[in-house]
């Protein structure tokens, strides 16, 4: 027999859950009290989420560049603006062939739109 501190009833040891971190190997509260505690906690969380749902900003997922109907050059520029730094990363974002990406990067380089210092490391960044 053991006394539950929450409901203050003397219960059998089989009415307590297992807790290996405790010396006696049993939870401090009985199974019924634990169940009620979990139920109340979930109810509070749900009420909190409902109350704060109105204040949350809607989550907007960015549409992939390859799905947009844009020119290849615009896709590459947008990929660079979104932080894609290598040809492979740009290809993954735009789904354009590497040859086409290289040609577009060369045109951007000729127009002084690419940062020249990082080209030796094959890292592409827009100027400004």
- The whole-number pLDDT of residue 128 equals 66
One domain for residues 42 and 87: no
Domain that holds residue 90: 65-121
Q: Place 55 in a pLDDT band, splitting at 50, 70 and 90.
A: low
> How many structural domains is the chain composed of?
2
Q: Tell me, yes or no, whether 126 lies in a domain.
A: no
CA distance 119 to 128: 16
- pLDDT digit string (tens) for 20-45? 999 999 999 999 999 999 999 999 99
- The reply to whether 80 falls in a domain is yes
**Average pLDDT of the residues in 8-13:** 92
In a domain, 35, yes or no: yes
Q: Provide, rounded to the nearest whole percent, the portion of the chain with pLDDT above 90.
A: 55
> Considering the chain, what is the average pLDDT of its residues?
87
Examine residue 60 and state whether it is found in any structural domain, yes or no: no
**Confidence grade of residue 54 (pLDDT, cut at 50, 70, 90):** low
pLDDT digits over 94-122, tens only? 999 999 999 999 899 888 888 877 776 77
């Amino acid at each position: 027999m053991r006394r539950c501190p929450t409901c203050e009833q003397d219960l059998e040891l089989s009415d307590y859950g297992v807790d290996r971190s405790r010396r006696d190997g049993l939870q401090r509260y009985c199974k019924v009290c634990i169940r009620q505690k979990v139920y109340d906690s979930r109810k509070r969380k749900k009420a909190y989420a409902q109350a704060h749902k109105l204040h949350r900003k809607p989550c907007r997922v960015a549409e992939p560049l390859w799905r947009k109907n844009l020119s290849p050059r615009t896709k590459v520029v947008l990929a660079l603006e979104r932080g894609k730094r290598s040809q492979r990363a740009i290809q993954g974002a735009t789904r354009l062939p590497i040859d086409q990406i290289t040609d577009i990067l060369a045109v951007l380089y000729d127009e002084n739109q690419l940062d020249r210092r990082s080209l030796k490391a094959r890292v592409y960044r827009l100027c400004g």
